[in-house]
Amino acid sequence: MRKNNNYLSDQEFEDFLKHIGGIKSAYRLDLEPSTERYSVGVGNGWLGIIQRLFETLIKLGWNREVLQIKEKFGGLRLYLNNVPENYYHFIEQAEKDSYEICEVCGEPGEQSKINGWIFALCEEHRDEKLYVDYEGKKYLKKLKEPVLKGDIYFNALTNKIEICDKDKFFDPWSLKVVEVLTIKDNDDVN
């Protein structure tokens, strides 16, 4: 059972886009309107916000032309074409609402800065962004600690957990990590 009306599955959103006749690319009016999920570059937790906004704007006469829909600085950004000026407050409200809605699941959330990126996440999904699972083990990302020779780190280029073998290591995409031991792991050690 769905807890909120913000989250839509890919199929639900595509069904909605088909229902409204798709969205048109404001850059390429020669193309057929899109009913594909990929045409909207945000998490499923915000698709309900977009659906409600589109329904309102269409009732008011909007022609479904989209310049761009994306996430930026932990919030929804909607660049729509041919929206009457006096209806922009609907767009602004949708963007404002997104700051307090988890972009993954649609539950209440808040902005979180993780490794220099800003996300709108609930507590559960914020925690997921703080960990890396690798070969059956869980590692906590150490977001602001430098990677030094001998440290364990997540190599973003290889997608692996590795041991740093360099002095003065710097890679802005890789993160120092610490293995998280479970109670079962601790029992095995004793």
- Do 97 and 25 fall into the same domain? yes
Q: Which of 123, 145, 177 is the last residue of a domain?
A: 123
Let me know whether 21 and 98 are in one domain: yes
State whether 158 and 93 are in the same domain: no
pLDDT at 28 exceeding the cut of 80: yes
Residue whose C-alpha is closest to residue 98's, from 65, 130, 72, 127: 72
pLDDT tens, position by position, 77-128: 999 998 877 889 999 999 999 999 999 999 999 998 876 778 899 988 887 7
Domain that holds residue 94: 10-113+116-123
Per-residue pLDDT band for 58 (boundaries 50, 70, 90) equals very high
Q: What's the rounded Cα separation, in Å, for the pair 158 and 38? A: 26
Domain assignment present for residue 5? The answer is: no
- The residue out of 65, 98, 123 marking a domain boundary is 123
What is the number of domains present in the chain? Answer: 2
Please name the residues in contact with 180: beta carbons below 8 A apart, sequence gap of 6 or more. 131, 137, 138, 139, 140
76 pLDDT higher than 90 = yes
Residue 103 included in any domain: yes
- Please report, as a single letter, which amino acid is at residue 171: D
User: Is the predicted pLDDT of residue 44 greater than 80, yes or no?
Assistant: yes
Predicted confidence at residue 154, as pLDDT, reads 85
Are residues 57 and 84 part of one domain? yes
Instruction: Say what the pTM is.
Output: 0.71
